[in-house]
Amino acid sequence: MKKLEQLYEGKAKKVFATDDPDLVIVDYKDDATAFNGAKKGTIVGKGVINNKLTNYLMQQLEKEGVPTHFVEEISDRETVVKKVTIVPLEVIIRNISAGSFAKRYGVEEGIVFKAPTVEFSYKSDPLDDPLLNHYHALALGLATQEEIDQIIAMAFKVNDVLKAFFAEVGVTLVDFKLEFGKTSDGKIVLADEISPDTCRLWDSKTGEKLDKDRFRRDMGGVEDAYQEIMRRVFGK
Ligand code: TMP
Ligand code: ASP
């Protein structure tokens, strides 16, 4: 497989064409942003960690019947994935109140919900990813009803698998963001990444934050937190 021209550069990853029209290569950077790019920085080693963690978790999800874009890890930072058209929805699942949920509804962080919630944001940097409901998504033609139903079912399934997986290594999965893509044959698959950038992960015993909130909130110990998640997952 040949790595060809760069197709796209996002805030945390670059995407390259390959000689196969159905495959692209994702290249994970150490760049970190928050608040839609208003805060910028570097988390040393993050690209390697997010690449390896995403690939491992996607393979676990595949085993549990969740289709993903994952094809093959080719280096510490690079992975071959299926080329998809990203559905422009950020799909957020929450098990415990935190972040924008706590702020929006005026509640403390750490309230354990009886059942997980799902919400959508419209993936649009110029609009700052506004929250929207599934009727809005239909009205804007972002996805069909059938696709939305499939996406919600897959997102809850991902939650079941990841929550159990992280619990086994002493980590509480508070909330996370997923993105889905459509392959050339019209199939919806899980895309993007699953990492401490896109999940809130709290130490189950101490409640210590082991995710990007340490960067967002200037808490220090950012690299250590990412490495701790790696150690928990891969035992090293
Ligand atoms: P929020 O509480 O700020 O809405 O974030 C919910 C979850 O989504 C949290 O785990 C972090 C993740 N997230 C992203 O991956 N990308 C984003 O742009 C935002 C705002 C949140
Ligand atoms: N996606 C956000 C940004 O664009 C980062 C975040 O808060 O996770 O900067």
Q: Report pLDDT digits (tens) over 54-89.
A: 999 999 999 999 999 999 999 999 999 999 999 999
Q: Which atom of ligand 1 is nearest to the CA of 174?
A: 10
Residue nearest to atom 9 of ligand 2 (CA): 34
Ligand 1: residues with CB < 6 A are 92, 98-101, 175-177, 198-200
Strand positions, DSSP E, 123-209: 131-132, 171-182, 188-191, 199-203
CA–CA dist 32, 30 (Å, integer): 6
**End-to-end CA, the chain:** 31
> What are phi and psi for residue 36, nearest 5 degrees?
55, 45
The helix-helix angle for 145-168 and 46-63 (nearest 10°) equals: 110
List the beta bridge partners of residue 153. Answer: none
- In this structure, how many other beta carbons lie within 10 angstroms of the beta carbon of residue 37? 10
What separation in Å is there between the alpha carbon of 127 and the centre of ligand 2?
13
Residue 49 banded pLDDT, cuts 50, 70, 90? very high
What separation in Å is there between the alpha carbon of 176 and the centre of ligand 1?
6
pLDDT for the residue numbered 80: 98
Closest CA to 84 of 11, 192, 4, 193: 192
pTM of the model as a whole: 0.98
Tokens for 43, please give them: 């988390």
Question: Using the 8-state DSSP alphabet, how is residue 198 labeled?
Answer: T
What separation in Å is there between the alpha carbon of 175 and the centre of ligand 1?
8
Contact 232, 225 (CB under 8 A): no
CA–CA dist 38, 221 (Å, integer): 21
Specify the amino acid at residue 231.
R
What separation in Å is there between the alpha carbon of 120 and the centre of ligand 1?
11
CA–CA dist 115, 188 (Å, integer): 25
**153-201 pLDDT tens trace:** 999 999 999 999 999 999 999 999 999 999 999 999 999 999 999 999 9
Ligand 1: which of 123, 175, 214, 217 to mutate, judged by most atoms within 8 Å of the beta carbon?
175
Average pLDDT over residues 139-165: 98
